[in-house]
Amino acid sequence: MNVLERLLGYIEKEHLMMPQEKILLTVSGGKDSMLMAHLFAKAGFTIAIAHCNFQLRGEDSELDEALVRRFAAENGIPIFVNHFDTISYARERQISIQMAARELRYTWFEQLRDELHFDRIAVAQHLNDHIETVLLNLSRGTGLQGLQGILPVRDRIIRPLLFLKASEIEYYVKEYAITYRDDQSNFSTKYARNKIRIDIIPHFKKLQPDFEQIFEQNITHFKESYQLLQQFIEPIRKKLFLPMDEGWLVRKEDLEEYLDNLPLLYELFAAFNFSKAVLSDLQQSWTKESGRIFQSDCYHMLLDRNELFIREKEFISSDEALVTSETSTVEWKQYCFHAAISTDVSIVRNNATAKFDYDLLVFPLTIRSWKIGDSFYPLGMEGRKKLSDFFINKKISLFEKENIPIVVNGNGDILWVANYRMDNRYKITANTKKVLTLVCKTD
């Protein structure tokens, strides 16, 4: 069986794509991606090429681009090229060059796919990349999910060369006389992945000449074990994690029966990347500390009285908005405030509307999230009350608090907990001559 037949068989076996679909090939100019482009062109698929010039290797980057452009022209394949200022991007986000290049290319690939209506994005990773990924994950600490390595299909991304060893790719580019260029950074052992490929895997192959085939079988076993585990876990997840507008709610009474089983707890929360150490803290705090927040790299989890609330970190914001005497509308998070000055001293009984004695206001007013120590004099109640106590009485969770607009006078007094209660000191009285009306609406 020749390599093209093997490719078509692998595509069918892994359900990578349908023959009529439009495929965007990511081609760097290296032997892997050049072989992929050659095979897809030979198979007669509807394809286009996307090439990233990261401008990291001077003339070599330009020569890579020239090679890919020439291949596309010779084969009548549409090509799209993007030049990135990778170093500036990495510096601005304080991430590594490798991570910056990854973010840039995958973001652009998806934009191209969406705008030009491609069905799939094909990436030329092969079996050795697959093995290196598992070993790299092992070296950093991983569960069964990380032992699956590189998945043949993930969302719209397909990896049609995962069935080929690096040595086979080397053989086929020679057989088909495919021109390619080597990236010299691939031969530097300062990168962890390169060190695994250059220094570590050769020792395994000395112990076991069929190392790639055996390791591929192991990865298949890991994948099957993970899938079997998910068949058990997923129904429990669906029962526990109840979707909300901006996250998920878990009722404590529903989670309680699984609480003592830390390995099971870890798998249940795997989608949110909470470590076992964090989940162990959750176990210890279960009956002790209502209001405690636990964090993963992307999520906050609040342990409230009767529920857990999980939300992405991006929803927690300390942005502020200002209201001047000239303001007519202002936005804060998902809210829009409409402001109007008048002499209308009529009382409006609507939590979304607040009317203030204008002469007591100090502009600009600030709209912000609540802060620890905030207090006010709630209208219709006696004395000062801490906002934290006010929220508890209203049964408002900490995550909900973060998104409640607090309108603050220029002198620091809280004027209004929007949609809940205004401050008694700034209400309209018989002496009020001028009124500021604020109406809070959800976008």
pLDDT in tens, 112-159: 999 999 999 999 999 999 999 999 888 887 778 888 889 999 999 999
In whole angstroms, give the CA distance from residue 78 to residue 50. 9
Report angle CA 370, 374, 378 to the nearest 5 degrees.
Answer: 100
CATH code of 420's domain: 3.50.40.10
In this structure, the chain runs to a length of 443
Residue 351 contacts residue 442 (beta carbons within 8 Å):
no
Residue 212 domain flag: yes
Of all residues in the chain, the percent with pLDDT exceeding 70 is 97
Residues 216 and 79 in one domain: yes
In whole angstroms, give the CA distance from residue 105 to residue 98. 11
Residue 228 domain flag: no
pLDDT tier for residue 37 given thresholds of 50, 70 and 90: very high
Element (H, E) at 330: strand 329-332
Residues 111 and 191 in one domain: yes
**Bridge partners, residue 284, by sequence:** none
Residue 322 contacts residue 330 (beta carbons within 8 Å):
yes
Most confident of 104-118, 299-313, 398-412: 104-118
**Residue 283 pLDDT > 80, yes or no?**
yes
**Residue 5 pLDDT > 80, yes or no?**
yes
pLDDT tier for residue 371 given thresholds of 50, 70 and 90: confident
Number of domains observed in the structure of the chain:
3
Specify the higher pLDDT residue, 176 or 98. Answer: 176
Residue 321 contacts residue 420 (beta carbons within 8 Å):
no
Report angle CA 226, 227, 233 to the nearest 5 degrees.
Answer: 85
Residue 171 domain flag: yes
**Residue 51 pLDDT > 50, yes or no?**
yes
Domain that holds residue 354: 321-442
Pair of tokens at residue 244: 């909300």
Considering only 53-57, 202-206, 240-244, 370-374, which range has the smallest mean pLDDT? Answer: 370-374
- Burial of residue 370 (CB within 10 Å: 0-12, 13-18, 19+) is buried
Residue 339 contacts residue 321 (beta carbons within 8 Å):
no
Residue 236 domain flag: no
Residues 157 and 293 in one domain: no
Residues 6+ apart with CB under 8 A from 107: none
Q: Give me the helices (H) in 157-210, please.
A: 166-175, 192-195, 201-207
Half-sphere exposure of 139 (CA within 13 A, CB side): 11
In whole angstroms, give the CA distance from residue 99 to residue 97. 5
**Bridge partners, residue 310, by sequence:** 248, 301
Q: Biggest alpha carbon distance in the chain?
A: 94
For residue 16, give Cα distances in angstroms to 7, 27, 122, 134, 226. 11, 18, 9, 21, 20
Residue 163 domain flag: yes
Residues 301 and 348 in one domain: no
In whole angstroms, give the CA distance from residue 22 to residue 97. 31
Instruction: Give the model confidence (pLDDT) of 385-436 as tens digits.
Output: 999 889 888 888 767 887 899 999 988 899 999 999 999 999 999 999 999 9
pLDDT at 188: 67
pLDDT tier for residue 314 given thresholds of 50, 70 and 90: low
Residues 327 and 267 in one domain: no
Q: Which of 261, 281, 315 is the last residue of a domain?
A: 315
Residues 144 and 249 in one domain: no
pLDDT at 31: 95
Mean pLDDT of 299-314: 82
Q: Which of 284, 299, 315 is the last residue of a domain?
A: 315
Residue 88 domain flag: yes
**Residue 173 pLDDT > 60, yes or no?**
yes
Specify the higher pLDDT residue, 21 or 182. Answer: 21
Residues 289 and 347 in one domain: no
Residues 6+ apart with CB under 8 A from 406: 367, 368, 369, 370, 374, 387, 414, 416, 417, 418
pLDDT tier for residue 289 given thresholds of 50, 70 and 90: low
Nearest of 368, 378, 351, 363 to residue 438 by alpha carbon: 351
pLDDT tier for residue 162 given thresholds of 50, 70 and 90: very high
Q: Which amino acid is at 9?
A: G
pLDDT at 348: 87
Residues 127 and 252 in one domain: no
Q: Give me the helices (H) in 15-57, please.
A: 31-43
Q: Which amino acid is at 320?
A: E
Residues 166 and 284 in one domain: no
Residues 108 and 73 in one domain: yes
Residue 68 domain flag: yes
**Residue 317 pLDDT > 60, yes or no?**
no
Instruction: Give the model confidence (pLDDT) of 336-368 as tens digits.
Output: 999 999 999 998 888 899 999 999 998 889 999
pLDDT at 316: 46
pLDDT at 393: 87
Residues 51 and 179 in one domain: yes
Q: Which of 271, 291, 315 is the last residue of a domain?
A: 315
Residue 227 domain flag: no
**Bridge partners, residue 295, by sequence:** 300
Of all residues in the chain, the percent with pLDDT exceeding 90 is 62
Element (H, E) at 240: helix 211-240
Residues 18 and 151 in one domain: yes
pLDDT at 233: 93
CATH code of 164's domain: 3.40.50.620
Residues 6+ apart with CB under 8 A from 273: 296, 297, 298, 299
pLDDT at 172: 96
**Residue 315 pLDDT > 70, yes or no?**
no
